[in-house]
């Protein structure tokens, strides 16, 4: 009796609580949602236990986690004029390797530092620097497999604040928001497979979708959004989309055959994936500045920036109509992800919250001040660790296992 019951209980426990890697920006499904369950949102007043902390240097890069390793970036203040890729043990925070490369702080109108988040694909790490250096490294050792200076090789224009998107792995290719409508590289060798123009890119990561059986990506460009075929770089459709100061940094959100675009001082628009035409009857004044937000239960949750002015609101919109169901101030222009049907929110000033994903109203189920100074980097949940970061580069690993 006992021998047959124990495996059943074990399977039930595993079904209830599952852990998950977060190997790329926006997570394993590129939608800002983790499949992880069983993590705890019951905290003491001071917040979850700090498992470890690290100092990375100035930057906005979030973390990626795979195979027990965490990768992120920062401008290394201990080595002037250098950015660094860090590989840490995701459980203990121990430094496993670091790869540094020459880079200016680049603090034009903001703090500067690194902006793009690396990508883990199997045993490799891919990273695009603000200056157009593209790296492919061994995940285990940090050894450089190949390195390319794309601005020199492709003759592309550098965006005003440098490149900021993450590499997107699609089959045998890496898709980069570099050039007019993106660039495709062979991920094994770095060879250029296709290039779509040389004018300025935008700052958002490309997001994939299927169009009439053909794999495509939605790419925000300087003043457009384009649907581009992954295999050959063919542009299927283009639509005008202009943001304040041309800072198209919020990744496109693909859901239910439609595409949501937003950016600084640019109210979100919703397009049909088939041809890029506006969705009839959809309207909002919500302008999503950086973090793209998530769709849960037919509603869209994201931070609205108020015309570049101080302040901001966490909002819930009806995905079908754009109608605002509720808006909560006092959190600045923060960031969020979701897991197990709940929102994990980091305010602009470092307050961490678990918020109910419900259109009925704002409900904070847990909250604690865990960081100080500006926080614009999205939190990441992986294997019962919640990773949060501020602009100066303080990274905390918070234990939300509930043990």
* Each residue's pLDDT tens digit, 312-334: 999 999 999 999 999 999 999 99
pTM higher than 0.75: yes
* Residue 264 pLDDT class (50, 70, 90 cuts): confident
Read off the pLDDT of each residue in 197-211 and give the average, rounded to a whole number: 95
* pLDDT tens digits along 109-145: 899 999 999 999 999 999 999 999 999 999 999 999 9
Task: Quote the mean pLDDT of the chain.
Answer: 93
Q: Return the closest-CA partner of residue 347 out of 326, 371, 381.
A: 371
Q: What is the pLDDT of residues 27-74, one digit of tens each?
A: 999 999 999 999 999 999 999 999 999 999 999 999 999 999 999 999
| Per-residue pLDDT, 17 | 63
* Cα separation, 235 vs 204, whole angstroms: 17
Query: Which pLDDT band holds residue 289 (cuts at 50, 70, 90)?
Result: confident
What pLDDT score was predicted for residue 113?
96
Report, as an integer, the average pLDDT of 271-289.
95
- Quick one: average pLDDT of 257-283? 95
Question: Is residue 253 over pLDDT 60?
Answer: yes
pLDDT at 309 over 90: no
User: Is it the case that residue 10 has pLDDT exceeding 80?
Assistant: no
Q: Which single residue is written with the structure tokens 């037919």? A: 298
- Categorize the per-residue pLDDT at 9 as very low, low, confident or very high, splitting at 50, 70 and 90: very low
* Torsion angle, alpha carbons of 92, 65, 63, 263, to 10: -160
Burial 179-194 (b: 16+ CB within 10 A, else e): bbbbbbbebeebeebb
Q: How many helices (H) and strands (E) does the chain have?
A: 2, 32
**336 within 8 A of 348, measured Cβ to Cβ:** no
Assign 2 a pLDDT band (cuts: 50, 70, 90): very low
User: What domains does the chain contain, in order, with CATH numbers?
Assistant: 20-399 (2.130.10.10)
Q: What is the pLDDT of residue 311?
A: 75
Return the structure tokens found at 166. 């993450």
pLDDT for residue 79? 67
Closest CA to 264 of 130, 161, 180, 176: 161
Q: Check if the beta carbon of residue 132 is closer than 8 Å to that of residue 141.
A: no
- pLDDT reading at 12 higher than 60: no
Percent of the residues in the chain that have a pLDDT greater than 90, as a whole number: 88
350-370 pLDDT per residue, tens: 999 999 999 999 999 999 999
SS (HEC) of the chain: CHHHHHHHHHHHHHHHCCCCCECCCCCCCCCCEECCCCCCCCCCCCCCEEEEEEECCEECCCCEEECCEEEEEEECCCCCCEEEEEEEECCCCCEEEEEEEECCCCCCCCCCCECCCCEEECCEEEEECCCCEEEEEECCCCCEEEEEEHHHHHCCCCCCCCCCCCCEEECCEEEECCCCCCEEEECCCCCEEEECCCCCECCCCCEEEEECCEEEEEEEECCEEEEEECCCCCEEEEEECCCHHHCCCCCCEEECCEEEEEECCEEEEEEECCCCCECCCCCCCCCECCCCCEEECCEEEEEECCCCCCCCEEEEEECCCCCEEEEECCCCCCEEEEECCEEEEECCCCEEEEEECCCCCCCEEEEEECCCCCCCCCCEEECCEEEEECCCCEEEEEECCCC
Look at residue 23 and give its three-state secondary structure.
Answer: coil
pLDDT at 184 exceeding the cut of 90: yes
Mean pLDDT of the 382-403 span: 97
């Amino acid at each position: 009796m006992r021998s047959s019951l124990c495996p059943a209980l074990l399977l039930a426990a595993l079904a209830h609580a599952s852990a998950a890697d977060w190997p790329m920006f926006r997570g394993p499904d590129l939608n800002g949602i983790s499949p992880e369950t069983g993590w705890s949102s019951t905290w003491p007043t001071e917040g979850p236990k700090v498992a470890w902390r690290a100092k990375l240097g100035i930057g906005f890069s979030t973390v990626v986690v795979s195979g027990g390793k965490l990768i992120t970036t920062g401008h290394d203040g201990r080595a002037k004029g250098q950015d660094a890729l860090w590989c840490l043990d995701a459980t203990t925070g121990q430094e496993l390797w670091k790869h540094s490369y020459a880079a200016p702080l680049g603090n034009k109108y903001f703090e500067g530092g690194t902006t793009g988040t690396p990508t883990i694909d199997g045993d490799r790490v891919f990273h695009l620097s603000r200056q157009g250096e593209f790296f492919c490294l061994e995940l285990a050792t940090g050894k450089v497999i190949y390195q390319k200076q794309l601005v020199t090789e492709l003759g592309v224009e550098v965006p005003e604040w440098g490149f900021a998107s993450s590499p997107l792995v699609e089959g045998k290719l890496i898709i980069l928001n570099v050039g007019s409508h993106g660039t495709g590289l062979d991920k094994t060798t770095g060879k250029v497979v296709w290039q779509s123009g040389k004018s300025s890119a935008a700052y958002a990561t490309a997001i994939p979708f299927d169009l009439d059986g053909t794999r495509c990506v939605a790419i925000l460009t300087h003043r457009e959004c384009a649907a581009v075929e992954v295999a050959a770089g063919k542009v299927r459709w283009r639509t005008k989309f202009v943001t304040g100061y041309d800072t198209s940094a919020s990744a496109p959100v693909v859901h239910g055959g439609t595409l949501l675009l937003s950016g600084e001082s640019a109210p979100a628009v919703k397009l049909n994936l088939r041809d890029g035409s506006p969705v009839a009857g959809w309207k909002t004044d919500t302008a999503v500045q950086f973090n793209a937000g998530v769709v849960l239960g037919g509603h869209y949750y994201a931070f609205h920036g108020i015309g570049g002015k101080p302040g901001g609101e966490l909002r819930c919109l009806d995905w079908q109509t754009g109608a605002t169901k509720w808006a909560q101030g006092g959190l600045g222009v923060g960031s969020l992800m979701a897991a197990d049907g709940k929102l994990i929110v980091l305010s602009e000033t470092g307050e961490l919250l678990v918020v109910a994903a419900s259109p009925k109203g704002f409900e904070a189920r847990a909250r604690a001040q865990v960081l100080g100074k500006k926080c614009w980097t999205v939190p990441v949940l992986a294997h019962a660790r919640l990773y949060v970061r501020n602009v100066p580069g303080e990274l905390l690993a918070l234990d939300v296992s509930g043990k």
